[in-house]
């Protein structure tokens, strides 16, 4: 199987997974969703409230370290095999323009389509129309990771009240049309910063698209093309100077010149060379391998010091992500004191008032109750209550003590009190909060008496 066929298969799998992923739920939670409306982040079937996004830094570290690791080991694998820009361009250029409409009858991607023909002019607008429809689908698919599909389609039925959503869809779709139809691979060459980052991550062990100068000969010397015809090559050089590798390059480069930032690692040049060399019973002169492997003929191990450092970093990020995700809270409680610090009642009773904000972040209704760990204190005028899923409510909670503590004659004293908050339906759904209980100075009791 040629690299091009492998890429098409990879694109198909990625497209299907990305399209279907928003529809997959576990216990009512999505596999991947960032909802700004509900202030929730769904990951692998767990729903995290905005106050629980302590796993986000580890996910971001996992993403960036993963990108650096993949680039250092396998070059621009993402660009040629997973980037949406590349996939969209292949769909438009190879599927719509070439396969469906027959606008490209040649394999030379250096040449633009001849629009002087009337048939091609009509096909051009038809191709844009087809891609416009696919752009709307892609834009909708992108928004499903922020607005779940079930809500997305419900909102589309009432477009007047959800004009912002419609505007986002149209804006993304228009950008995709401009990017894929008119900007083309210029986005990869001039806009995308990844090609510039890769240069500092590469070394001689990094896999990349490499032209074997040992077999093919040096076509370029000092970055200047010095050989144009086969007869100008040395006797044992195998390159036929057919330029097939150049004609199929979507970013318009000559890979025989060496590593270039425009290369997206699509390996179409390798397939083209393989076809030509295969007729002579030889292997392709262009390979996906490191400089040490292809040019210097050295053995390269994936377990180099650099790669081991990447593996350890990624493993730590995964462990920390799983560890923090496993400590997900089933509900959130925010506690604030009222403006009145305390109240001294008859018989020396002291009470503090608090405002508890309960937020049920789970998909089940819970009945909440609370108690105080310190036996000298008790909760007054609070009854267990039931809270619906993904709902919040505020409750006034009064803590009181009858015991005379005799703490200070000169100033009020802040005491640390632990309160247990429980969801009666789930033993794991429990939290312990520290409260600051303000106890008055002794002189106030004398004044009171």
Going by pLDDT thresholds of 50, 70 and 90, the confidence category of residue 446 is low
Residue with more model confidence, 303 or 270 = 270
Phi, psi of 15 (to 5 degrees): -60, -45
List all residues 6 or more positions away from 329 whose beta carbon is below 8 Å from its beta carbon.
Answer: 49, 52, 361, 431
Q: Would you call 25 exposed, middle or buried from its count of C-beta atoms within 10 A (0-12, 13-18, 19+)?
A: middle
Region of poorest pLDDT, from 151-155, 165-169, 417-421, 427-431? 427-431
- Residue 72 pLDDT more than 90? no
What was the pLDDT predicted at 8? Answer: 93
pLDDT tens-digit series, residues 215-272: 888 888 877 887 777 666 677 788 888 888 998 998 888 998 888 888 888 899 999 9
Helices 194-201, 56-74: crossing angle, 10 deg rounding: 70
**Angle in degrees, CA 138, 139, 143, rounded to 5:** 115
- Residue 46 pLDDT more than 80? no
Q: What is the pTM of this model?
A: 0.74
Section 283-290 average pLDDT: 89
Ordered by start, the domain boundaries in the chain are 3-200, 205-294, 331-448
Residues 121 and 24: their CA atoms lie apart, in Å, by 42
What was the pLDDT predicted at 327? Answer: 64
Q: How many CB atoms lie within 10 A of CB 157?
A: 7
Q: Please determine, looking at this structure, whether the domain spanning 331-448 carries the CATH number 2.60.40.10.
A: yes
Two tokens at 361? Answer: 């972040």
Percent of the chain with pLDDT over 70: 95
Q: Would you call 70 exposed, middle or buried from its count of C-beta atoms within 10 A (0-12, 13-18, 19+)?
A: middle
Residues 285 and 289: their CA atoms lie apart, in Å, by 12
pLDDT tens-digit series, residues 345-403: 877 889 999 999 998 877 789 999 999 998 889 998 888 999 998 788 999 999 999 88
Going by pLDDT thresholds of 50, 70 and 90, the confidence category of residue 106 is low
Residues 167 and 164: their CA atoms lie apart, in Å, by 5
Section 190-198 average pLDDT: 80
Residues 173 and 134: their CA atoms lie apart, in Å, by 8
Two tokens at 372? Answer: 């105080």
3-state secondary structure of 338: coil
pLDDT tens-digit series, residues 421-440: 999 988 888 889 999 999 99
144 and 152 Cβ atoms separated by less than 8 Å? yes
Residues 406 and 410: their CA atoms lie apart, in Å, by 11
In the DSSP assignment, the letter for residue 112 is P
What was the pLDDT predicted at 118? Answer: 77
């Amino acid at each position: 199987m040629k690299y091009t066929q492998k890429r098409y298969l990879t694109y198909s799998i990625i497209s299907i997974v990305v399209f279907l992923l928003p529809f997959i739920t576990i216990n009512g939670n999505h596999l991947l969703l960032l909802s700004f409306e509900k202030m929730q982040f769904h990951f692998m079937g767990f729903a995290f409230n905005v106050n629980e996004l302590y796993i986000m830094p580890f996910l971001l570290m996992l993403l960036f370290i993963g990108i650096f690791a993949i680039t250092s080991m396998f070059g621009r694998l993402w660009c040629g095999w997973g980037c949406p820009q590349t996939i969209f361009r292949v769909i438009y250029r190879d599927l719509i323009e070439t396969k469906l409409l027959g606008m490209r009858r040649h394999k030379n991607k250096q040449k633009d389509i001849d629009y002087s023909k009337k048939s091609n002019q009509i096909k051009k607008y038809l191709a844009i129309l087809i891609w416009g429809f696919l752009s709307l689908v892609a834009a909708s698919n992108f928004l499903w990771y922020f607005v779940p599909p079930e809500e997305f389609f419900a909102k589309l039925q009432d477009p007047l009240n959800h004009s912002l959503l419609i505007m986002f869809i149209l804006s993304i779709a228009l950008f995709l049309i401009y990017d894929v139809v008119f900007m083309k691979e210029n986005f990869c060459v001039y806009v995308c910063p990844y090609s510039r980052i890769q240069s500092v991550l590469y070394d001689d062990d990094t896999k990349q698209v490499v032209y074997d100068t040992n077999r093919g000969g040096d076509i370029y010397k000092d970055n200047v093309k010095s050989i144009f015809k086969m007869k100008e090559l040395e006797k044992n050089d195998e390159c036929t100077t057919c330029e097939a590798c150049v004609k199929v390059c979507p970013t318009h480069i000559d890979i025989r010149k060496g590593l270039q930032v425009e290369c997206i690692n699509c390996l179409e040049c390798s397939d083209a060379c393989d076809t030509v060399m295969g007729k002579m019973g030889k292997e392709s002169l262009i390979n996906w391998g490191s400089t040490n492997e292809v040019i210097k003929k050295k053995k390269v191990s994936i377990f180099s010091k650099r790669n081991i450092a990447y593996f350890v970093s990624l493993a730590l990020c995964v462990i920390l992500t799983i560890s923090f995700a496993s400590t997900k809270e089933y509900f959130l409680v925010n506690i604030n004191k009222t403006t009145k610090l305390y109240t001294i009642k008859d018989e020396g009773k002291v009470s503090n008032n608090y405002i508890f904000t309960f937020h049920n972040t789970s998909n089940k209704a819970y009945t909440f109750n609370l108690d105080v760990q310190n036996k000298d204190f008790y909760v007054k005028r609070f009854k267990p209550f039931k809270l619906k899923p993904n709902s919040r409510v505020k409750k006034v909670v009064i803590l009181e003590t009858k015991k005379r503590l005799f703490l200070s004659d000169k100033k009020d004293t802040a005491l640390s009190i632990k309160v247990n908050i429980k969801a009666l339906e789930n033993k794991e759904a429990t939290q312990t909060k520290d409260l600051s209980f303000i106890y008055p100075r002794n002189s106030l009791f004398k004044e009171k008496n």
